[in-house]
Amino acid sequence: MTAAPDTPVLVSRRLVADGAPLPVLQEVRCGPPGRGELRIRAAWSLVSPGTELHYLDRSARTGERFPLGYCSAGTVEATGPGTPGFAPGDRVIAMGWGEAVHADVVTVPHRLCRQVPDRLGLDHAVVACLAATAVHAVDRATLCDGDEVAVVGAGIVGQLAAQTAAARGHPVTLLDVRQDRLRGAATLGLDVAEAGAFLAGSGGRSAGGRSAGGRCVLLCGTGDADETVAAAARWAGRAPGRPRLVGVGRFAARVEFSVELGNLDIRYAARCGAGYRDPSYARGLTEVTAPAGEGTVTENLQRALALIDAGAIRPAAMMLPRFPLGQADRAYAELRERPPHPAVLFAHGSHPPDAPHDLRRSGGRAEEPRAL
């Protein structure tokens, strides 16, 4: 379906990094969607703290301006030409840096959108946008039957990667140096442990004879990671099979390549699948082929959404606080203090006058914000 020629131009609020450590809200005009695009009335958007705080810091340092966010969920208002399978009224998730931003109305290429099952609340479905990164990272790990996985970093991507690996039948331990993060992650039903002690000791199920497979470490942390990488390599090399190290987070590390390192495979999982940040693919104008064992961004979004729908990834158990978009400065200020919760959701639309900053969830399908 295509948008009518008289599709109105709307004014939307959008969150922007504008030269300061905290974002500002600005009003922008939203025209009709172009070829291959959907215009979506957002209900929820999800903060990716590592990426967004990085760009806020960069903006404060350089004066560059960035629209923030890349994970949104809402209802299709209008479709541009060449958007097969979508129609106004569809409930969708949408992702894309500079496209599925924190705004009340977003225009997003259709291959970065997926339809949401009726039984699934949009506040839970939006987590699939970041879960697609976890799906891609676990693909990049090339796990085999019996392999044991340690996920270092209990932030939002680490928690999603741990749930994704567990859903594939692998024994998983989620690690962090912070006990408050581990206590929160324990509600997901995962084994959790203090990172330093786990990696320094024999640690893991393989040492106890419960697994004959290899070991893989997914590094989902931030900052300087020299010691973490070295400890992870030693831990992965203590088991039979092929030891692997997959970088997922935004970190820096110096690796001492020598015979002492052992036969360690090192990979990095950037973004969320083939075709991401490819405008031509995203709008359906060209095709891409993912490497063997991996998926396109469209496929990975669908796989992540299916994991949530099946209960293998549990957004409700992650206890993500909810803020009205107008309180975004407060949300980012809290994230800068590294709170126990790994991320936050922004609610778009109207709210009761007495709504607290942490809008609590109801059981089952969550109530969704009303349109402006």
DSSP secondary structure of 324-352? EGGGHHHHHHHHHT--SSS--EEE-SB--
Segment 137-161 shows an average pLDDT of 96
pLDDT at 270: 86
Domain residue spans of the chain? 10-130+275-347, 142-268
For residue 290, pLDDT over 90 is answered with yes
Residue 311 DSSP code: T
Q: Of 167-181, 227-241, 337-351, where does the model show the most confidence?
A: 167-181
Task: Please give the average per-residue pLDDT across 35-58, as a whole number.
Answer: 96
How confident is the prediction for the chain on average, in pLDDT? 89
pLDDT for 350:
56
Contacts of 63 (CB under 8 A, 6+ apart): 19
Nearest to 124 by CA among 90, 160, 152, 166: 160
Report the C-alpha gap between 199 and 178 in whole angstroms.
15
The one-letter code for the residue type at 20 is A
What integer pLDDT is reported at residue 156 of this predicted model?
A: 96
pLDDT digits (tens, 9 = 90+) for 231-266: 999 999 988 888 999 999 888 999 888 888 888 999
Q: Nearest CA to 360 among 313, 311, 316?
A: 316
Please give the average per-residue pLDDT across 105-134, as a whole number: 98
Q: pLDDT-based confidence at 119, cuts 50/70/90? A: very high
Q: Is the pLDDT of residue 279 over 90?
A: yes
CATH class of 142-268: alpha beta
With bands split at pLDDT 50, 70 and 90, how would you rate the model's confidence at 42? very high
Average pLDDT over residues 178-197: 92
pLDDT category at 371 given cuts 50, 70, 90 is very low
What is each CA distance from 107 to 7, 76, 99, 283, 301, in whole angstroms?
13, 10, 6, 11, 17
DSSP state of 362: P
Does position 209 have pLDDT exceeding 70, yes or no? no
- Number of Cβ within a 10 Å radius of residue 350: 12
Q: Kindly report the pTM of this predicted structure.
A: 0.90
Average pLDDT over residues 99-118: 97
User: Does residue 173 contact residue 198 with C-beta atoms inside 8 Å?
Assistant: yes
> Is pLDDT at 214 greater than 70 in this prediction?
yes
Higher pLDDT, 230 or 125: 125
Compute the distance between CA of residue 130 and CA of residue 58 in angstroms, rounded to an integer: 22
List the CATH code of the domain at 10-130+275-347: 3.90.180.10
Give residue 352's pLDDT: 36
Calpha distance 218→200 (Å, rounded): 16
